[in-house]
Chain A
Amino acid sequence: MEVLLSHLDAFAGGMRTTAELALASFAGALVIGVLVAACRVSPVAPLRAAGTTYVETFRNIPPLVLLVLFFFGFPKIGILYSPFTSAIIVMAVYTGSFVGEAVRSGINTVAAGQAEAARAIGLTFSQSFVLVILPQALRAVVPAIGSLFSAILRNVSLASVISVQELAWVSERLIADTGRPFQILAGTAVAYLMMTLPSGYLFGVIERKTAIKR
């Protein structure tokens, strides 16, 4: 127990880095996801193709492979970012493909009548998309987005491989330094619960607030 208490600041630092990574990646993923979904439902064929390629590529590659490729491979062509930034970019791009799919399925659940009505009153494609379809679609997919955020919280632990000092990295280092794996892992589990439980609750609240009452 004292082992955990004496390393509280290390845990706290790790948790903060994990939270920063998760939030930044999530924000990026949302932006990318909406753009990708827009491409996928667009009438412009090349955009549809680009969107589909994006999704099919990034959904099927393990995030760790993307991370290693970006961090160790891309510098060879001049793309070099710090470990922290690299992690955010990769996680945003990766999760963005899932967000894109979720938003797309959300768009498709919005009744066709909505789109027709929007067009009927003279809104352009982009207006009807942004003002009518998207808000309803996003409300429909809040649960899925919530579970994707939990997935991000878990996935940013991969950044430890490229020496970002988030919670998993701190945990590994403490296990090596103190030689007390069980206590450290218990503490790490608590630390992760301290992040997943509140965010799960928060998304539950958002879900209830935005639920479409039919």
Chain B
Amino acid sequence: MHKSRISLLALLVALAMVAAACGPSEPEPEESPTEATGAKEAPEFAAGSTMDTIQKRGNVIVGTKFDQPLFGQKNPITNEIEGFDVEMAKIFAQGIFGGTLEEAAEKVEFVETVSRVREANITQGTVDFIVATYTINDARKEVVDFAGPYYIAGQDIMVNKDDDSISGVEDLNGKKVCSVQGSTSIANVVEQAPQADISISFDTYSKCAEALKDGRVEAVTTDNIILAGLIDEDGGETFKLVNNPFTTEPYGVGVKKGDDALRDFLNDKIEESYEEGSWEAAYERTVGAAGIPAPEPPPVDRYSSSGASPAATPTGAASPGATTTSAATTTAPTTTTTN
């Protein structure tokens, strides 16, 4: 008698806690980032929506990078993928399946999506969504849709540690610069440093880093966050960041064009992660561990699917060591700002 009453009480308390925890309209502000990994309840989704399909299937297929340090990198020893994009994907999975973050992580199947296959994988439906240092821009918006952004990076330049000749994008003129084919990075360089020699280019940034190390090129250019990962991989011994970003690169989650329900869901989860602290926790576990302090999380852009984006698009480029102010004054996502 005594025992069953206690257990009934415990059950009621648990139910109350669960009831309080679930319900996206009322997120609880958390004290410390680590408590954000507490168990959540799996919500119900509208029948036929992508989230519902995913939930019924029992796992979510996410495209990410396997060779991007700090954001999506496969560890050949543990066979796990590690990085900030990976952590965000786990947060989204938790939003679909519930449970703790670790339990939800079990239900994520990662597929490698190198830069040039991202759109194809989304339109073909090979993946449910893509979290892979995916810069949001208008050209891509014609083919896919984006949730987020969940991070703002800026395009920067990486050089060998003892090279002082490059301090900004204009210095790239006349130098050999490496980037990835089909990336926005190369387009930006062509635009801002037309005399730069971009004849050497590969399909991954890690190959560019090798080329820089070997002296085949004098600079590598892409988002500063990706460069920071490449620098960190070598223990900070070989490369350095010029630290003069010349674009803003908002990272988003790529989804199938027109899937507004999924987009809204992901945007909700992103905002939730800001408030619950799980975003910051994920950041500290990955990028933060390389010594880059967390910036302010950027506001998500809930543009209507007709393509017109409402006013509030973020501008501040996150460069390591600086704090950002999220001023919402510009309209186009790919403005080129230095800070």
Contact = CB atoms under 8 A, between A and B. Distances in A.
Interface of A: 72, 75-76, 80, 82-83, 161-163, 165, 172-173, 176
B232 to A, nearest CB: 20
Contacts of B116: 176
A80 B215 CA distance: 9
A80 B216 contact: yes
B201 A72 contact: no
A72 B215 contact: no
Closest 10 CB pairs of A and B: A75-B214, A163-B200, A176-B182, A163-B201, A72-B210, A80-B214, A163-B202, A176-B116, A83-B200, A80-B215
A80 B212 CA distance: 12
Main secondary structure of the interface of A (DSSP, over half): helix
Given A80-B216, A176-B181, A72 B207 contact: yes
B199 interface: yes
Contacts of B214: 75-76, 80
B182 A165 contact: no
6 contacts: A75-B214, A76-B214, A80-B214, A162-B202, A163-B200, A163-B201
A81 to B, nearest CB: 10
For A72, A80, A176, the residue with the greatest tally of chain B CB atoms inside 10 Å of its CB is A72
B147 to A, nearest CB: 24
B220 to A, nearest CB: 13
A165 B200 CA distance: 9
B199 A163 contact: yes
A72 B213 CA distance: 10
Contacts of A76: 214
B210 A173 contact: no
Interface string B198-232: 01111100010010011110000000000000000
For A72, A83, A163, the residue with the greatest tally of chain B CB atoms inside 10 Å of its CB is A163
Nearest to A176: B182
Interface in B147-192: 181-182
A196 to B, nearest CB: 26
A78 to B, nearest CB: 10
Given A75-B213, A176-B181, 19 more contacts: A72-B207, A72-B210, A75-B210, A75-B215, A75-B216, A76-B214, A80-B214, A80-B216, A82-B216, A83-B200, A161-B203, A162-B202, A163-B199, A163-B200, A163-B201, A165-B199, A172-B181, A176-B116, A176-B182
Contacts of A173: 181
A83 to B, nearest CB: 7
Contacts of A82: 216
Nearest to B201: A163
Contacts of B207: 72
Nearest to B216: A80
Contacts of A163: 199-202
A49 to B, nearest CB: 33
A166 to B, nearest CB: 12
Contacts of B201: 163
A163 B182 CA distance: 13
Contacts of A83: 200
Nearest to A82: B216
A173 to B, nearest CB: 7
